[in-house]
Structure 1
Amino acid sequence: MPRLVLIDGSSYLFRAFHALPPLTNADGEPTGALFGVVNMLRATLKERPDYAAYVVDASGPTFREQMYPLYKANRPPMPDDLRAQVEPMCRIVEALGFTILREPGVEADDVIGTLALQGAAEGIDVTISTSDKDFAQLVREPAPGQGLVELVNTMTGSRLDSIEAVMAKFGVRPDQIVDMLALMGDSVDNIPGVAKCGPKTAAKWLAEHGTLDAVIAAADAVKGKIGESLREALGQLPLSRQLATIRTDVPLPVTPRTLALRERDIESLRELYARYGFNQALKELDGGSAADAVEKEPGRARGSGRYAAPVAEDAPPPDPALSAPGEYETVLDADRLAAWIGMLREAGCFALDTETDSLDPLRANLVGISFSAEAGRAAYVPIGHDYPGVPTQLDRQSALDALRPLLEDAGVRKIGQHGKYDLHIFRRLGIEVRGYAEDTMLESFVLNSSQRHDMDSLAKRLLGYDTVAYEAVAGKGAKQIPFNAVAIDDATRYAAEDADITLRLHGQLSAQLQATPSLQAVYREIEMPLVQVLARIEANGVMVDADELRRQTADLSRRMLAAQQKATELAGRSFNLDSPKQLQALLFDELGLPALVKTPKGQPSTNEEALEAIADQHELPRVILDYRGLAKLRSTYTEKLPEMINPATGRVHTSYHQAGAATGRLASSDPNLQNIPIRTEDGRRIRKAFVAPPGRRLVACDYSQIELRIMAHLSGDAGLLEAFSAGADIHRATAAEVFGRRLEEVTPNERRAAKAINFGLIYGMGAFGLARNLGIGRGEAQEYIATYFSRYPGVRDYMERTRQQAREQGYVETVFGRRLYLEYIQRGNQAQRAGAERAAINAPMQGTAADIIKRAMVDIDGWLAGQGGAAQMILQVHDELVFEVDEGFVEALLREVPRRMAAAAELRVPLVVDSGVGADWDEAH
């Protein structure tokens, strides 16, 4: 069936103006409202409607002012910054091919209402694109030979397309909306109503009496203050109804079928997009690839002195209505749960959240479940609250059995905020959640990884909404109670809000992602598929040998004691090696060693860097460093890991954090397995405690020099490309270039120096850092770097090009389009800018490496799913994946996994994967 889209231009223009920050273009012209409306129009065009019109209010009075001179009398005049955007807005709308409709004497609402019903009568499905609730009176369900009339709020993604949908949102039918509006009145339009009559009271009266006329007839029976207010308003209610009624009989010079889209005026659009800084729109216009688009933000917030908060250029502006409180229901009986399940299934997409009694998803007990399918409305199902006088709750198993078909239906999309936690909770209860399609934490992370992605921060930043703090319902400190002891009414307010706000946030964040295809691809193809993969890895866990760890603890303790005794001998007296104050007095006052590193307060530092700086001048600093290294291994790993064995599984289960590092790298906690030191023998011994159970082996697969290979790809340097393509030892090849040797003449020390240069340049190391690393003079280090760049000029060009791009656009990108915003690249002191430039050079390589291994994990996880449990992924550490494998399946895995890892990206040099097998993690290396 053909479709007609009628766009409420006036409504969107005002909402965009008030919702977005005061953006301007390079010439200082205001662009905020224009930006929001243009993005909404482009989103509409992507849906390819058959007919469309952009409807705005004409100047001059309308029949409503003639009927009631005070109509809209309270509205302030249009702000100058908004008025300045009306004319360019119309020019862009025209150039996009839309018909603009302005009819004198009536409002845009009446034009839309007339065309909507005409279109539906002609068998056309009509979508009214608006954020104005008044249009709900026009909603029509399809009838034989007729189309439907639905409302879509492009800003939030909400949709009203049936009588039930209108009833669910407003509590009345579409044919009762006008009567409801008359009873409520409208302070914005200055429509008189019944004083203190809100939507709930109006809906209640109409539910009881059916129509406004019947409410008027029954006014004498309404008691209390509200009854007095009703009777005082009786004379005005018929007028209010007339003012609130959208006309559907306006004589128009057009019909629905004359509103076909025209061809775009490309040249006009190019001029307008360039003038107002709509760079993504301009790139699409010019046929650029979204995957490698380099875009700037639409403008700077006035007076900010820095890049405005990065908002994807096609992002619809947030709707101020999204900051309003929601209406939340506590579900305590099976009938209401069944009703909600039906609503969620019909919606096809809903936000989901769980409440538990622990932060550990592999040990937590489920206390309640919340969900929302419509912004502003949510429900909480308590099933595990336990306190004196607690209301009767649904039986946990009965509730889960009722929810299971919905949760396991991949066709119904679920939305979460850090939903991996919830997936664990349900999996442990025997429910495999399918259709987990959206995660607001990850949407925010992909849009700008340098910001905060927790719900409270997102709600404040994007919705202007202050969420209920956990402490507000559970207390804090020593008096904090577990969630199962929180009163159900308070729990509903907290938990249902989580689901509601998650849904609202998704509406905002999803629109921003859709505006930038490269970021949308990172989110859809990398981050979201990875959620289930990481959940499986965490659930798999890894077996650790507690006896081996205890032996290592005893050994470390003996050596720590020996180091203490040695330090006492060297100092000539006893002292506390763990006391910075005592160390400071001993090293710098008594022994007179130079204080080469200072604390922020100007005091001599005793941190690792400070002790390394003076370790060649006295034996004591080295002994202290050795002691600290042993103590850290003991406290962090050998003592702690046995305590972290899950009694239900006998394994250690780390947690992986997708939004943990700005570059996209995964972080690990509880325990942190990313930071086990591997350059020392003691650090490598820790890995010996990670073991395979009987009949299985551990297989480790590690990308070889992946960041250097990415540097070769990004820089396109001929020398690096040739070395990697030939399979050469890249450090030896670099040493041969820098020191003017043949490959076979390179000494171990020269290779070590070349390795320091190769990796140092990736991290933005200068001559000072290289000199310190190699123990050489700064001048000699500078000569090494200069020679390196003369041999690999493509690297130098890449680094300068990347710095310049970062300064111009405020961010850098990975090969796959992930962005890292650089806050200090154009401001701050020189040290901050230098740090931002180093990050600009390193982030594309580190971020691309992160993207590659994530892509590999998703692919390998899919392959493992068909292997009947013969192998499972149990660890990811930087560029390495570790598997627990049946002994008879090891060869098959060694054939398949390295191949899939190498195929995770197509670079200009081959990706190489090293593999090893062993009874423990150390042996697998």
Structure 2
Amino acid sequence: MPRLVLIDGSSYLYRAFHALPPLTNAQGEPTGALFGVVNMLRATLKEKPDYAAFVVDAPGRTFRDDLYADYKANRPPMPDDLAAQVGPMCEIVAALGFPILREAGVEADDVIGTLAVAACRQGIEVTVSTGDKDFAQLVRPGITLVNTMTGSVLDPAGVVEKFGVAPERIVDYLALMGDSVDNVPGVEKCGPKTAAKWIDAYGSLDGVIAAAPEMKGKIGENLRAALGRLPLNRELVTIRTDVAMPLGPAELVLRGRDADTLRGLYARYGFTQALRELDGGTAADAAAEGTLRNTAAGYARSGGGQAEAADPALAAKGEYRCVTTREDLDAWTARAKAAELVAFDVETDALDALRARLVGLSLAVQPGEACYIPLAHDYPGCAPQLDFDEVLAALRPVLEDPAVAKVGQHGKYDLHVMRRHGIAVRNYSQDTMLESFVLNSTASRHDMDSLAARYLGYTTTRYEDVCGKGAKQIAFSQVELEHATGYAAEDADVTLRLHRALHPRLEAEPALLAVYRDIEVPLIEVLARIEANGVLVDAEELRRQSHDLAKRMHEAEQKAHALAGRAFSLESPKQLQAILFDELKLPALVKTPKGQPSTNEEALEAIADQHDLPRLILDYRGLAKLRGTYTDKLPASINPDTGRVHTSYHQAGAATGRLSSSDPNLQNIPIRTEDGRRIRRAFVAPEGRRIVACDYSQIELRIMAHLSEDPGLVAAFEGGMDVHRATAAEVFGAGSPEAVTGEQRRAAKAINFGLMYGMSAFGLSRQLGIARGEAQDYIAAYFARYPGVRDFMERTREQARERGYVETVFGRRLYLNDITSRNQGLRAGAERAAINAPMQGTAADIIKRAMVEVDRWLDGQGARAAMIMQVHDELVFEADEGFVPTLVAEVTTRMQAAAALRVPLVVDAGVGNNWDEAH
């Protein structure tokens, strides 16, 4: 059947503009939206449709403006950077051979609707390429919607699943909800769920209107108030299918592309991959050299701006085999043994890697060539599978062979599972999640599905596709082998393809390659060992603390009731609003997005000096958080097999490179309060062992001294001074550090750390409880004494604006897409990140390097000591009591040698029977 693709050009231009960073070419011309549209068009051409058209809105009024004077009245004018890309877009579209359609008096939607319905009647299969939900009303047998940006496809069943109504009722659905973008007011408070519910109950918009008199409650009142405008709404949201068109569907034939025009346009706008494709990957390379310069110079080269496969073969469907015979198993293990690189992936019965059991394992040796080896599928009628132990025995020589390189996607999980099944995987040398993360930590999510879509143009089979979701989800062991093979083998295959697409980009950036190769990859196995070691937790101590917290929460609640003069729920924002602002008449200094008085932490802190109740509520919340997050939950996290708590560390969590942890999160246990420190007392050493904590002292301030090269700051650290006291002596003119008061030191500490995090005079004034003018004087005095810090900040902001990213000492990058934003708030946030990220990221790099070196040394020490936690700038160990002095000496030496800065790194070490004592 012939196929027609109708492209909603206006929709894609706007969506690409807002989805991509502010790319520019070498001449500074904006190219971001253009880049997204061109990639979409090239993907469409690869599908070889019989007919196609690129449809855009014509200038001027349409019939909808005549129907409703305020139609689209609140829509802002097209941004200048976007308007500048419309002309080039049309030039490229025409040169690619697409007919461009625009009809006066109607919208692009109506042109598409008319052609789609006409083509469908003529037996032509229609695909509407759009991201606009309004087009769902056109869907029927023969007409589908495709969102090229997300890869999603909507047929009639898909429309029902997504919107809750059939395509023929989408107009009614839209009329009820209205459209804020087009300034079409719907029924107040009627969202998607209510609109779908009404249509399901009453059959149509007319049925809803007829039932309006009997509708109960506020929503019924809102419906009755909107009855007069609903018929007009229906007319406004209905896509016309009867526009008089100069061309019929069968006349929308693609013309031959104008290669010379395209070559010039691609070179001008820096579309390197498109140039390679146009010229067969040869002549274009030289022409494109140096033409691509976005605001993140090199953003596209590093993977930030590309949303396409470097090699079209990487986007093709693969061929997968289910291994159920010994002959097949031997053949695949032989292929894996001989392969340059093997991708592997495990399927299990649980998400907890330290408790999960293997269900199957997949291997890939070439892009498009992968297998799945089922081990524990147990649904009725399942075909015989190979013996579990026999398969592991056959795979062990390959997986444990250091000569066979392995690649995975977030492979730490797989390493845990294989270790628990008796296989210590060796030479795990590549990880696609980390390749993506190091290339650009903010460009994309780093899960396999997102990376495949972004870098391969490939839509993966998702877990829900084979297992279902919600209450009906089945275990993977219940999935039929055919479907399990397609899903699991694809995982290994796509992982190998992603490595082929991502690693050359890293190799093109030597500093990023070094971060990946020397820091992130070696850390995978280090973190796996820390997680497997776990930490011993005293559950009884936590239960005692939980009981005490509950008692104190009750006491705080009783005091709050007494202060308010009546009982109320401390958990209810609405009741708190009534007590604080209506009854006690406290000022509402912080508002919610909807303009209501806020009762969040910031709001309560702002009025805590005006009445005792806000502070009491804050104290209550602090106790409740400790109890709910730690003292109640940590005992439930104890692994029954090991008797220990095993957290999970995330390398690709924080954009700056900082590690985070979850299940449970051990990074955020508070240490500034006695209650927070009590929780650390429950982290204990077993009999005959001690807890050792080694913590970098003021590492980010030391990095600031290194980066700024400020003589005063460098001298303070080189002299081993208390830098906060030294800063106070300088800023407050105390004469000498010894003459500094405690209050002055506290203020200097706030300034030192606040400036690193972009704190303003307003923020400093609130933190110190002083006037804003006084805070500004402190900051001015600080910069007068440390001019190198001010120069560093100004220099860093300027470099961030020029490059679009900042770097750590070791070359890790943080891209800042908002650094040139017209939105002052977004731009200011990016500038704060530009100052902080080099310090926080360098600190992360340093402790990661230290962990790798310490782990190498520990490997030769047997069971005498183990690394059990990493928390911010601190490493925590468990060691035999007699081995502690050696451990402290060796670990502090390696931590201090993890970076060569202009000022010395200092590590403080503590020892105790529990984590709190070790501080």
Normalising by the residue count of structure 2, what TM-score does the alignment of the two structures yield? 0.70
SS at match of 1:276: coil
* Shift in Å, 1:346: 1.1
C-alpha distance in 2 between matches for 1:80 and 1:24: 19
C-alpha distance in 1 between matches for 2:594 and 2:306: 47
Corresponding position of 2:264: 84
Corresponding position of 2:556: 563
C-alpha distance in 2 between matches for 1:605 and 1:310: 42
Q: 1:87 to 1:607 in 2, by over 3 A?
A: closer
Corresponding position of 1:399: 391
C-alpha distance in 2 between matches for 1:507 and 1:613: 53
Corresponding position of 1:579: 572
Residues 185-204 of structure 1: pairs in structure 2 closer than 5 A: none
Aligned partner of 1:371 among 363, 373, 378: 363
SS at match of 2:430: strand
Is the contact made by 2:709 and 2:788 (CA closer than 8 Å) also made in structure 1? yes
SS at match of 1:884: strand
C-alpha distance in 2 between matches for 1:590 and 1:457: 51
Corresponding position of 2:297: 297
Cα deviation digits, residues 106-163 of structure 1 (max 9, x gap): xxxxxxxxxxxxxxxxxxxxxxxx999xxxxxxxxxxxxxxxxxxxx999xxxxxxxx
Q: Give, as a single letter, the amino acid of the residue that structure 1 aligns with 2:774.
A: E
Cα deviation digits, residues 783-814 of structure 1 (max 9, x gap): 00001000000000000000001111111000
Q: Give, as a single letter, the amino acid of the residue that structure 1 aligns with 2:591.
A: K
Aligned partner of 1:920 among 899, 911, 914: 914
Kindly name which structure, 1 or 2, has the bigger radius of gyration based on alpha carbons. 1
SS at match of 2:645: coil
C-alpha distance in 2 between matches for 1:83 and 1:875: 55
Corresponding position of 1:336: 328
Corresponding position of 1:879: 873
Quote the RMSD (CA, aligned, Å).
Answer: 2.8
SS at match of 2:644: coil
C-alpha distance in 2 between matches for 1:539 and 1:78: 60
* Shift in Å, 1:469: 1.4
SS at match of 2:569: coil
* Shift in Å, 1:508: 0.7
Aligned partner of 2:518 among 496, 520, 525: 525
SS at match of 2:791: helix
% identical aligned pairs: 67
Q: Does 1:638 pair with 2:649?
A: no
* Shift in Å, 1:317: 5.9
Q: 1:319 to 1:688 in 2, by over 3 A?
A: same
* Shift in Å, 1:79: 2.7
Cα deviation digits, residues 801-845 of structure 1 (max 9, x gap): 000011111110000000001121111411111011000000000
Q: 1:591 to 1:87 in 2, by over 3 A?
A: closer
Cα deviation digits, residues 624-660 of structure 1 (max 9, x gap): 1111111111111111111111010000000000000
Is the contact made by 1:328 and 1:377 (CA closer than 8 Å) also made in structure 2? yes
Is the contact made by 1:315 and 1:508 (CA closer than 8 Å) also made in structure 2? no
C-alpha distance in 2 between matches for 1:822 and 1:762: 17
Q: 1:29 to 1:834 in 2, by over 3 A?
A: closer
C-alpha distance in 1 between matches for 2:470 and 2:261: 49
Q: Does 1:793 pair with 2:787?
A: yes
Corresponding position of 2:105: none
Q: Does 1:848 pair with 2:842?
A: yes
Is the contact made by 1:312 and 1:515 (CA closer than 8 Å) also made in structure 2? no
Is the contact made by 1:654 and 1:670 (CA closer than 8 Å) also made in structure 2? yes
SS at match of 1:737: helix
Deviates most, 573-582 or 318-327: 318-327
Is the contact made by 1:355 and 1:495 (CA closer than 8 Å) also made in structure 2? yes
Residues 805-816 of structure 1: pairs in structure 2 closer than 5 A: 805-816=799-810
Q: Give, as a single letter, the amino acid of the residue that structure 2 aligns with 1:705.
A: Q
Corresponding position of 2:313: 321
* Shift in Å, 1:296: 5.2
Aligned partner of 2:887 among 893, 903, 906: 893
Is the contact made by 2:401 and 2:426 (CA closer than 8 Å) also made in structure 1? yes
In structure 2, list runs of 5 or more residues that go unmatched.
Answer: 1-19, 40-253
Counting matched residue pairs gives 672
Is the contact made by 1:768 and 1:781 (CA closer than 8 Å) also made in structure 2? yes
Aligned partner of 1:382 among 374, 377, 381: 374
C-alpha distance in 2 between matches for 1:443 and 1:763: 28
Cα deviation digits, residues 483-535 of structure 1 (max 9, x gap): 11111111111111101110111011101100000000000000000000000
Corresponding position of 2:596: 603
Q: 1:272 to 1:369 in 2, by over 3 A?
A: closer
C-alpha distance in 1 between matches for 2:678 and 2:763: 30
Residues 416-495 of structure 1: pairs in structure 2 closer than 5 A: 416-450=408-442, 451-495=444-488
Is the contact made by 1:560 and 1:627 (CA closer than 8 Å) also made in structure 2? yes
Q: Give, as a single letter, the amino acid of the residue that structure 1 aligns with 2:26.
A: N
Corresponding position of 1:59: none
Q: Give, as a single letter, the amino acid of the residue that structure 2 aligns with 1:276.
A: T
C-alpha distance in 1 between matches for 2:840 and 2:638: 32
SS at match of 1:816: coil
Corresponding position of 1:761: 755
Q: 1:334 to 1:274 in 2, by over 3 A?
A: closer
Cα deviation digits, residues 239-262 of structure 1 (max 9, x gap): xxxxxxxxxxxxxxxxxxxxxxxx
Q: Give, as a single letter, the amino acid of the residue that structure 2 aligns with 1:440.
A: T
Q: 1:29 to 1:693 in 2, by over 3 A?
A: closer
Cα deviation digits, residues 311-364 of structure 1 (max 9, x gap): 379999612232221111100011101100111111131111000111100011
Is the contact made by 2:308 and 2:455 (CA closer than 8 Å) also made in structure 1? no
Corresponding position of 1:345: 337
C-alpha distance in 2 between matches for 1:781 and 1:28: 42
Is the contact made by 1:313 and 1:515 (CA closer than 8 Å) also made in structure 2? no
Residues 641-720 of structure 1: pairs in structure 2 closer than 5 A: 641-720=634-713
Q: Does 1:516 pair with 2:509?
A: yes
C-alpha distance in 1 between matches for 2:305 and 2:807: 16
Cα deviation digits, residues 588-620 of structure 1 (max 9, x gap): 111111111111111111111111111111111
Corresponding position of 2:164: none
Aligned partner of 2:816 among 782, 802, 822: 822
Q: Does 1:857 pair with 2:847?
A: no
Q: Give, as a single letter, the amino acid of the residue that structure 2 aligns with 1:528.
A: V
C-alpha distance in 2 between matches for 1:367 and 1:853: 36
C-alpha distance in 2 between matches for 1:27 and 1:818: 26
Corresponding position of 2:798: 804
C-alpha distance in 1 between matches for 2:559 and 2:565: 10
Q: 1:724 to 1:380 in 2, by over 3 A?
A: same
Q: Give, as a single letter, the amino acid of the residue that structure 2 aligns with 1:764.
A: G
Is the contact made by 1:315 and 1:515 (CA closer than 8 Å) also made in structure 2? no
Corresponding position of 1:227: none
C-alpha distance in 2 between matches for 1:729 and 1:868: 38
* Shift in Å, 1:372: 0.5
SS at match of 2:909: strand
Q: Does 1:781 pair with 2:782?
A: no
Q: 1:716 to 1:660 in 2, by over 3 A?
A: same
C-alpha distance in 1 between matches for 2:545 and 2:899: 40
In structure 1, list runs of 5 or more residues that go unmatched.
Answer: 1-19, 37-73, 93-129, 133-152, 156-268, 280-294, 299-306
Is the contact made by 1:713 and 1:907 (CA closer than 8 Å) also made in structure 2? yes
C-alpha distance in 2 between matches for 1:429 and 1:154: 46
Is the contact made by 2:307 and 2:457 (CA closer than 8 Å) also made in structure 1? no
Corresponding position of 1:26: 27
SS at match of 2:910: strand
Cα deviation digits, residues 866-906 of structure 1 (max 9, x gap): 01121000000000000000011001011110110000000
Q: 1:909 to 1:316 in 2, by over 3 A?
A: farther
Q: Does 1:908 pair with 2:909?
A: no
Is the contact made by 1:316 and 1:512 (CA closer than 8 Å) also made in structure 2? no
Corresponding position of 1:221: none
* Shift in Å, 1:744: 1.7
